[in-house]
Amino acid sequence: MQSVTVDLEVASTMELVNALSVIATELASREAPESAAACLELTETLVAASDMQESALAGFIGRVDACGEQARWGYPSTQAWLRSRLGMRDNRVKERLVLARQRHRLPEVCVQLASGDLSYGYAVTVADSVSRLDDTDCAEAEATLLGFVDQGFSAGKVAAFGRRIRDLIADRDDSEDAPDEDTKRGYDKSWLTTTRSLDGGRYVKGWLNPEDAAIWDGTLAPLAKPARPDDRRDLPERTAAALSSVLSGGHKASKVTVICDLETLTGGNAPARLTDGTPIPAAQARRIALAAGVSPLLLGRGNTPLYLGYRERFASAAQRQVLETLYSSCAVRGCEVPGTLCEVDHVHGWALGNSPTDIDQLALTCGWHNRFKHTNPDQIQITKDHDGRYVYRLLPPADARGTRGAGPPGSIGPPDNPALDWAA
């Protein structure tokens, strides 16, 4: 058991955080008391303390975000840093970023959160509600929403009041046809979000600006008409079929890579997989093969020209297909950009003449990390995994190595070998 002695009046912020880390480590190692009543009281006290810590955390994240410090450490955005380095889920990342970015416009929320008079849930709700308001409306909305909190309304109710305030402001500004919350991302920019389902499908949600909507209607509307009098598909089903037809180029073959053994294609039960690792049943793989051309993918020398040496600067289409099979995402550990959206990277730098355009000297990296690797080669440590794929690990900036916090998540001090142990 470690002992902690801190003079609160003179201790630095770093000393306070270090002391808190030691206390949290000790607390986490203890069993919960037998008394349920004691556990209830302890839970309420600990949550209140955690909410006050969120106030400090919002300040730290806000400073990192405003200064772009995460980029020096190899992360393209604050979101990527929080997800990869700290293991936060997307919802938690969104909450903390909203609070960090809005806190300078919410003085009363910050005071009450730091003093323990306002919970983190309420603070995030208010911050999210005012994030799309101008400064004048923000100040009035803050006072109104905190008034609802004082009246005992739940965070969900306060969020509903926040949406109502935005609607009233839209009406006041003569924008009765204002888009809903999702479309408020901006009339100028269309957007789409997609989420993979457990069975390999994909949910799609988004909004198109008027120009893109006109293209959508002009392209899909003719294709979404009933194919024949007995076509019983509803409009959403016909629209999905029309979109699939357009994406596949009509009668042109679209490229879908399915990885499987020959035995699977000839009747075996071993599952196949897509390039992102999603498993698909053997029967489904065979159905895909029946409706598509099948070509072998040679992971080595052979009929497919995978070894181009120094004659060619850019990877061939065949090499690209192999790499997308090997790399479901960016080679940088923790980066979630899909391999299909990545760039081909010469592992040892083609421009320096150290890496030929050969399949075993190539990897896939997202555009941001490809440029980061070129400009900060000393912050990338390259190894190979047991399957022969290259793994890029981010290293701290040179001026931060050997300092507290440079080690992997959960470490108390720097790792013994930062080049091996520090990972995104």
Rama region for 204: left / alpha / beta (φ>0; ψ in -120 to 50; rest): beta
Mean pLDDT score, 40-51: 94
**String of b and e for 296-320 (b: at least 16 CB within 10 Å)?**
eeeeeeeebebebeeeeeebbebbb
The confidence band for 419, taking pLDDT boundaries of 50, 70 and 90, is: very low
Give pLDDT tens digits for 361-374: 889 998 889 889 88
Instruction: Let me know the angle formed at the C-alpha of 281 by 279 and 284, rounded to the nearest 5 degrees.
Output: 115
Q: Is the pLDDT of residue 141 over 60?
A: yes
The Cα–Cα gap between 350 and 357 comes to 8
How far is the first Cα of the chain from the last one, in angstroms, to the nearest whole number? 30
Q: Is the pLDDT of residue 413 over 50?
A: no
Maximum mean pLDDT: which of 14-28, 211-225, 245-259, 402-416? 14-28
Task: State residue 328's pLDDT score.
Answer: 84
Lowest mean pLDDT among 115-119, 126-130, 305-309, 351-355: 305-309
Q: Is the pLDDT of residue 305 over 80?
A: no
Q: Record the pTM.
A: 0.63
Greater confidence, 396 or 228?
Answer: 396
Q: Is the pLDDT of residue 119 over 90?
A: yes
Give the DSSP H or E segment for 156.
helix 155-172
Task: State residue 354's pLDDT score.
Answer: 57
Q: Which residues contact 214 (CB under 8 A, 6 or more apart)?
A: none
Task: State residue 31's pLDDT score.
Answer: 94
Task: Please say whether the beta carbons of 273 and 260 come within 8 A.
Answer: yes
**String of b and e for 27-60 (b: at least 16 CB within 10 Å)?**
eeeeeeeeeeeeeeeeeeeeeeeebbebbeebbe
Q: Which residues contact 95 (CB under 8 A, 6 or more apart)?
A: 124, 128
Greater confidence, 372 or 211?
Answer: 372
Give the DSSP H or E segment for 106.
none
Give pLDDT tens digits for 86-114: 988 888 999 999 999 999 999 999 999 99
Mean pLDDT score, 210-233: 76
The helix/strand/coil state of 194 is strand
**C-alpha closest to that of 322 among 349, 362, 294:** 362
Please give the single-letter amino acid code of residue 173: D
Task: State residue 180's pLDDT score.
Answer: 53
Contacts 24+ apart (CB under 8 A), 340-345: 340/275, 341/366, 342/366, 342/367, 342/370, 343/367, 343/370, 344/314, 344/315, 344/319, 344/320, 345/370, 345/373
The confidence band for 225, taking pLDDT boundaries of 50, 70 and 90, is: confident
Lowest mean pLDDT among 44-48, 96-100, 276-280, 401-405: 401-405
Task: State residue 331's pLDDT score.
Answer: 93
The Cα–Cα gap between 227 and 239 comes to 12
Instruction: Let me know the angle formed at the C-alpha of 143 by 139 and 144, rounded to the nearest 5 degrees.
Output: 115
Q: Where are the beta strands (DSSP E) in 160-262?
A: 191-196, 202-207, 258-259
Task: State residue 424's pLDDT score.
Answer: 28
Task: State residue 175's pLDDT score.
Answer: 52
